[in-house]
Structure 1
Amino acid sequence: MIHRIDTGSRLSQALIHNNIMYTAGQIGASGKSVSEQTTAILASIDRLLAEAGSNKTKILQATIWLADIKDFEEMNAVWDKWVDPDNAPARATGEVRLSDPSLKVEIIVTAAV
C-alpha cells in the first residue's frame, strides 16, 4: 500500500511505502537568503515527518541541491543546528540550476517510518 501526503495534480510532497517515507524536493520562499530558505525547508521536512509518524532521527538519506556551491557553509550552519548528530543521515550535496532562479536550496529526504 502507498500512502500519499499533500498530493496535488503533479506530485505528492511525500509518500510512504513499506515503512519508508520519500519526500519531493522541498524548497523555501523564493528570494530569501540561503539560511532562511534552509530553515523553512527543514521546518517543512519536520512537518512531513511528523505527519508520517516519523522524525529527523529516522532520516536515512538526504540529498541537498544548492544553486551555488559557494552557499555550502551557510546552508550547513542551519543544517548542523537542526540535524541530530547522533543520527546523522547519509547525505549528498551538489550544485544544480533550480527551477526558479531565486531559489537557492532544495532538499529531498528518505526516512524510516
Structure 2
Amino acid sequence: MTQDIQRYHSNARMSKIVQYGGLVFLCGQTASGSAPTPIEDQTREVLRRIDTLLAEAGSDRSRLLSATIYLKHMEDFAAMNATWEAWMPSGAAPARTTVQANLASPDLLIEITVVAASA
C-alpha cells in the first residue's frame, strides 16, 4: 500500500511542511528580519514558528521525534538551551543534535529543523 506524501507551502526549492506515514517534517526555521537580535529572541521566534507549523500539520511540540539545531556561534549554546528547555514539555525531549554552521544571512544566529509524529 502506497501512502500519499503531502506538501504544504511549497515552491520550486522546498516545502515548509511535508507529511508522510504519520510523520511531520519541517524545513529549517529561522528568525525573520534583518536587524541583529540576541540568541534568546531568535530562538523564541524560531520555536513559535515551529509551534505554528506543527499545529497546522496536526501535531505539537510534545510529539517531536528529532531536532537538529544549527548555531552560528557555539558560545550561544547555553543561552539557546535555556530557551529551548523552557519551551520543551517535561518528558518530551526529542533526539537532538546541535552543530555550529554558517547560516544563510549574517544576522541569523540559529536555525532549527524538526521531525514530529502526527497527532
Give the SS at the match of 1:85.
coil
SS of structure 1 residue aligned to 2:13: coil
* 1:76 maps to 2:81: yes
1:20 aligns with 2:8: no
For the pair 1:9 / 2:9, whether they are aligned, the reply is: no
Consecutive unaligned residues in structure 2, runs of 5 or more = none
Q: Are 2:119 and 1:110 equivalent residues in the alignment?
A: no
Q: Give SS of 2:91's match.
A: helix
TM-score (norm 1): 0.95
- Structure label with greater radius of gyration: 2
**Aligned pair count?**
113
RMSD value, Cα? 1.0
Residue ranges of structure 1 left out of the alignment (5+ in a row)? none
1:87 aligned counterpart, secondary structure: coil
Q: How much identity, in percent, do the aligned residues show?
A: 39
Find the residue that maps to 2:116 and give its secondary structure.
strand
Measured after TM superposition, the shift of residue 9 of structure 1 is 3.1
